[in-house]
Amino acid sequence: MKVLVVGGAGYIGSHTVRMLRREGHEPVILDNLCAGHEEAARRLDVPLEKADLGDSAKVKLTLERHRPDVVMHFAAFALVGESVTEPKKYYHNNVVSTLNLLDAMNDAGVKKFIFSSTCATYGNPQKPALDETHPQRPINPYGWSKWMVEQILRDYDRAYDMKHVALRYFNAAGGSPDGLIGEDHDPETHLIPVAMQSILGKRPGITVFGTDYPTPDGTCIRDYIHVDDLARAHIQAIDYLSHGGDSIMLNCGTGKGHSVTEVLQTIEKVTGKRLSVTYGPRREGDPPVLVAAADKIRQLFGWKPEYTELEPIVETAWKWFEKGGTY
């Protein structure tokens, strides 16, 4: 199938593009490169359309030129703290720009859409593992922006028969096992790459935000899912929609939680190096625990994570950083 991958030069998008090619699909990347990397598209040898979703004419032209069967949408601002201080930026980019894309798709007759949503739509968890029936009460504008798009998708399905799969990610981590592509954000805020940058001397140390959470060691617990396992879920979503599947929202996580302290200890084990760690106050908008109950995607897609333990995930991230950790 022809697949337009919006944000395909970014972290999760590029790994999905690589897997799409391996599975015999024909991906085309649309990316404004504000956070994505042209070099990632070059390494993957995939066509790149440089465009912003705010440019409706260019988006329409891209759809007309490539005539995709399905669109995957990864492009979004995703810094929780920044979303609190700059909500306008998040609502405009994550919501308004997505509307532009959906309208262009509808005009072009493209009726299959796979959306990168987030566990941040749930807000503070009311139970140890979050399933899709958990109340959605976001606690930051980033989470609200993704929640709003989910509501829009429901309405576009009812009104225009545009079928969608929205995957609510937990914490994406790791990189390609061969180190060809990996995680390269500017600024970098994710725990594993920040720690590895510290080990490589690219930053002075690492700060752990909050040690007084109601968790066994006082630090936040998250569900770390390997980026290739996320990519595989997107490809299985294509199969699902292609066989007449109804629109659906699905969690995508391993079901296992690891604390910040556990992650740092694993990084030290994998790299054989000690981290310089300082401790700071909690960050606004950080729930104590976010762990997926992902039974639904397992049952519906037959999906299951290949990376079920933290250490192999960290090993693939280190492979990328040993090669420089940047494009």
In tens, the pLDDT along 116-141 reads: 999 999 998 888 799 999 999 999 99
Boundaries of domain holding 277:
191-222+255-322
Cα–Cα nearest to 320, from 8, 14, 3, 79 = 14
| 23 lies in some domain | yes
Query: What pLDDT is attached to residue 100?
Result: 97
280 in the same domain as 232 = no
90, 91, 122, 142: which is the annotated catalytic residue? 142
Query: What pLDDT is attached to residue 284?
Result: 74
What is the spatial distance between Cα 164 and Cα 238, in angstroms, rounded to a whole number?
Answer: 10
Task: Look up residue 168 and give its amino acid.
Answer: R
Single pTM value for the model:
0.96
Query: What pLDDT is attached to residue 283?
Result: 81
Positive or negative: CA dihedral 138, 139, 141, 142:
negative
| 183 lies in some domain | no
What is the spatial distance between Cα 12 and Cα 14, in angstroms, rounded to a whole number?
Answer: 6
Query: What pLDDT is attached to residue 297?
Result: 98
Q: Which of residues 236, 252, 268 is at a domain's end?
A: 252
pLDDT truncated to tens, each residue of the chain (327 aa)?
999 999 999 999 999 999 999 999 999 999 999 999 999 999 999 999 999 999 999 999 999 999 999 999 999 999 988 999 999 999 999 999 999 999 999 999 999 999 999 999 999 888 879 999 999 999 999 999 999 999 999 999 999 999 999 999 999 999 999 999 999 999 899 999 999 999 999 998 999 999 999 999 999 999 999 999 999 999 999 999 999 999 999 999 999 999 999 999 999 999 999 999 999 999 876 888 899 999 999 999 999 999 999 999 999 999 999 998 899
Q: What is the CATH number of the domain that holds 82?
A: 3.40.50.720
| 197 lies in some domain | yes
- Domains held by the chain: number: 2
256-272 in b/e burial notation, b at 16+ Cβ within 10 A? Answer: bbbbbbbbbebbbebbe
Which helix H or strand E contains 3, and what residues bound it? strand 2-6
Which helix H or strand E contains 49, and what residues bound it? strand 48-50
Cα angle: 252, vertex 258, 262; to 5 degrees: 150
| 181 lies in some domain | no
259 in the same domain as 240 = no
Cα–Cα nearest to 185, from 82, 73, 87 = 82
234 in the same domain as 85 = yes
Question: Is 142 considered catalytic here?
Answer: yes
Which helix H or strand E contains 167, and what residues bound it? strand 163-169
Positive or negative: CA dihedral 263, 269, 275, 277:
positive
49 in the same domain as 92 = yes
Query: What pLDDT is attached to residue 80?
Result: 87
Tokens standing for 209? 């935000």
Beta-carbon count within 10 A of 276 CB: 12
